[in-house]
Amino acid sequence: MRISYCMLALCLLFSGMTTFPSSAQEYTQIGGYAAFIGPEDMYNSRGVRLTSLGDVLQQDRANFHRFGLRHPGDEGDPVFFDRGARSAIPTLYLQGGRIPELEAMVRRGQPFRAYMFICGYGYQPTRLIVVPEWYGDHSGCY
């Protein structure tokens, strides 16, 4: 039995199916997009008011990809086109660094425009960095 586990580990290692970053999977910017977060992004699909920025960002991507609800200036992204990927957005936002000003705007229901940087290893996102439009230039994933 021990040999089987060793063989399985070797097969996974050489097939590239491991989830550990390797030198071929450096930390990088996977993608980015601009979005106007409007009132309709602050309600989920059942009409329940969302009060966390991560949830609002997730609903924005659902509105864009699933429901075709797009504001002028909204951009597509290479990651959040399916429900599973979108479900990670609240956690990715928290891992990217919170923006208290935007969180307060969400609680007040105040629309805003921001740019999102999707950061990670290979094609696996690990952080979503949110930059409000008034912050100006930003270096992306760091």
5 lies in some domain: no
**Residue 33, domain extent:** 21-135
15 lies in some domain: no
User: In the chain, how many domains are there?
Assistant: 1
65 lies in some domain: yes
Q: Is the pTM of this model over 0.85?
A: no
Both structure tokens of 123: 């094609």
12 lies in some domain: no
CA 109 from chain center: how many Å? 21
Q: Are 102 and 114 in contact (CB under 8 A)?
A: yes
10 lies in some domain: no
pLDDT, one tens digit for every residue, the chain (142 residues): 444 433 333 333 344 444 444 445 788 999 999 999 999 999 999 999 999 999 999 999 999 999 999 999 899 999 999 999 999 999 999 999 999 999 999 999 999 999 999 999 989 999 999 999 988 777 788 7
The span from the CA of 59 to the CA of 42, in Å, is 7
62 lies in some domain: yes
The span from the CA of 82 to the CA of 86, in Å, is 6
